[in-house]
Amino acid sequence: MDELIIEAGRAESHYWRDLWRYRDLFYFLAWRDILVRYKQTVFGVLWAVLRPFLTMVIFVAIFSRLAGLPSDGVPYAILVLGGMLPWQFFASSLSESSSSLVSNANLITKIYFPRIILPASSLIVAMVDFAITLVLMALVMAWYQYVPPWRIVLLPVFVTLALVAALGPGLIATALNVKYRDFRFVIPFVVQFGLYVSPVGFKSSLIEERLGVVARLVYSLNPMVGVIDGFRWCIGAEPTLHVGALAISALTSAVLLWWGVRFFRSTEKGFADVI
């Protein structure tokens, strides 16, 4: 018979089983966020396309015209998109998930469910946006009559890596957000700042050329470096993949995720008390 013991500070052995049991809730919360997001806007689904499209146009204009980066024969726009898309995905995942608990405070104080479902399901919204931008990227490729190499089939690997990279910090941020309400002001700053320290407007191989290979490996501690490099490599905007740098980035992401889950779980019990 199912026996459940509630006790202070008890690490629940059935936490992950519970998570599986509440998978429908995960699905419905994601579904709700997506529905609500596009329901009230005048443009409806068009808005979902327009928003990333406009951002893309601005990015392409700025980075290709003003920054004037070398692109090795690949159209500038595609080079920039290769950095911008995963970055946008990461940024919106991070901000969506970090606000997920506070904006669902009414659920947390009234119903039990594994709280991790909230930040996790908020990632789905970011994924939908990402899927739309991918379609846009395909259109841009068609416009430039650019054929991506076969290795584009590996793209999901890097999308997963981006998810992992976003979820770890997202979990930490959302837990901190519950406790310290002014933490939400930190997130936009991190997103802004991260844009410039990630290789969105330039290639990370530039770092190696200018500062040497050690600098590049250190630089790869930024989990988004591996994601963006890999992404560019998949679409053919980067000829080679620096495996060492990628491994470092992936490791950082994994550590952040592990740390994020641990931190989240240790603070989770108190959410209903402080939110």
The residues that touch another protein, with contacts defined as CB under 8 A, are 1-9, 22, 24-25, 27-29, 31-32, 35-36, 39-40, 104, 106-113, 176, 179-183, 186, 269-270, 272-274
At closest approach, how far in Å is the CB of 272 from another protein?
5
* Residue 76 contacts residue 102 (beta carbons within 8 Å): no
Backbone angles phi, psi at 98, to 5 degrees: -70, -25
Environment class of 109 (CB within 10 Å of its CB; exposed 0-12, middle 13-18, buried 19+): exposed
Which tokens in the block code for residue 251?
A: 């490791």
Taking the CA of residue 120 as centre, how many other CA atoms within 13 Å lie in the half-sphere pointing to its CB? Answer: 18
Environment class of 175 (CB within 10 Å of its CB; exposed 0-12, middle 13-18, buried 19+): buried
* Smaller CB separation from another protein, 24 or 65: 24
* Smaller CB separation from another protein, 8 or 243: 8
* Smaller CB separation from another protein, 6 or 243: 6
* Smaller CB separation from another protein, 31 or 144: 31
| Alpha carbon 134 to chain centroid, angstroms | 14
At closest approach, how far in Å is the CB of 12 from another protein?
9
At closest approach, how far in Å is the CB of 275 from another protein?
9
**CA triple 238-243-247, angle to 5 deg:** 120
At closest approach, how far in Å is the CB of 133 from another protein?
24
At closest approach, how far in Å is the CB of 28 from another protein?
4
* Smaller CB separation from another protein, 6 or 214: 6
